[in-house]
Amino acid sequence: MTSEAVLVPRAEHNVSREDISPNALKVLYRLHGAGHQAYLVGGCVRDLLLGQHPKDFDVVTDATPEQIKALFRNCRLIGRRFRLAHIVFGREIIEVATFRGHHQIAESGSAQTSKQSEAGQLLRDNVFGTIEEDAERRDFTVNAMYYNIADYSIRDFAKGREAIAKRELELIGDPETRYREDPVRMLRAVRFAAKLDFNITQRAAQPIPELAELLSNVAPARLFEEVIKLFINGAGVKTFELMQKYHLFGQLFPQVQPLLENPQGKEYQFLQKVLINTDNRINSGLRVTPAFFYAAVMWYAVEERQQQHINEGGFNRHDAFIMAMNDVLHRQMQRIMIPKRFTTVIRDIWLLQHRLPKRFGKRAWVTLEHARFRAAYDFLVLRGEVEGGEIAEVGQWWTDFQEAGPAQRKKMLANLRGKDGKPTRRKRHYHNKNRDN
Catalytic residues: 56, 58, 139
User: What does the buried/exposed string (b/e) look like for 210-239 if buried means 16 or more CB atoms within 10 Å of the residue's CB?
Assistant: ebbebbeebeeeebbebbeebbbbbbbbbb
List Cβ neighbours of 369 (8 Å cut-off, separation of 6 or more): none
Strands 92-98 and 58-61: parallel
Of the candidates 64, 60, 87, the one whose C-alpha atom is nearest the C-alpha of residue 157 is 60
Of the candidates 20, 92, 28, the one whose C-alpha atom is nearest the C-alpha of residue 63 is 28
Phi-psi region of 152 (alpha: psi -120 to 50; beta: other; left: phi over 0): left
What is the sign, positive or negative, of the torsion defined by CA atoms of 118, 119, 120, 124?
A: negative
Element (H, E) at 190: helix 184-196
Angle between helices 220-231 and 184-196 (to 10 degrees): 10
Residues 131, 39: contact at Cβ < 8 Å? yes
Q: Is 103 exposed, middle or buried (0-12, 13-18, 19+ CB in 10 A)?
A: middle
List Cβ neighbours of 162 (8 Å cut-off, separation of 6 or more): none
List Cβ neighbours of 95 (8 Å cut-off, separation of 6 or more): 56, 58, 59, 84, 85, 86, 87
Of the candidates 95, 23, 91, 89, the one whose C-alpha atom is nearest the C-alpha of residue 58 is 95
Residues pairing with 106 in the sheet? none
Render 343-366 in DSSP notation, one character per residue.
Answer: HHHHHHHHHHHHHTT--TTTHHHH
| Angle, alpha carbons 364-369-373 (nearest 5°) | 85
Backbone angles phi, psi at 426, to 5 degrees: -70, 140
User: What does the buried/exposed string (b/e) look like for 80-101 if buried means 16 or more CB atoms within 10 Å of the residue's CB?
Assistant: eebbbbbbeeeeebbbbbbbbb
